[in-house]
Amino acid sequence: MDILFHVSTEAGAQYLAPLARACRRGNHAFAAFFTHEGVRALRGADVQAALDGARAARVVVCEESWHRFCADAACPAEFGSQTVNSALMGEARKVVSL
C-alpha cells in the first residue's frame, strides 16, 4: 500500500475526500484508519463516496471510537483496533495524519 490516511480529528477529516480522489486519479493504493473524533467523517456522503470503489486496501474504524462518537449510526467500514492501526502503519510506504 502506498499511503495510509490516519484520520483522528474531525477538522482534519475534511481533507480526506480530496486526497482519496487524488489517489484514485493517480492510481495509488491507499487505506484509511479512523480513530477518536475522526470517525465522524465516515458519516459524510462525500467521504464515503471518495472511499467507495477506490483502490483503498482497507477502510477501518476504531470500534471503541465509533461507539463513543457515533453510537447511533451504522458503521460503513470495517471495525478494528489500534492493533490493526499499527499493522496498517507498518504496511504503508507513507502515513498522512489528518
Distance CA 70, CA 73 (A): 6
Confidence grade of residue 53 (pLDDT, cut at 50, 70, 90)? low
All cell numbers assigned to 15: 481533507
List CB contacts of 82: < 8 A, sequence separation 6 or more.
35, 62
Is 38's pLDDT higher than 60? Answer: yes
The pLDDT of residue 14 is 86
Alpha-carbon distances of 14 from 11, 29, 42, 93, rounded to whole Å: 6, 20, 11, 23
User: Could you tell me the pLDDT band of residue 49, with boundaries at 50, 70 and 90?
Assistant: confident
**Is 3-97 in CATH node 3.40.1260?**
yes
**CA 35 to CA 32: how far, in whole Å?**
10
The whole-model pTM stands at 0.92
Domain ranges of the chain: 3-97
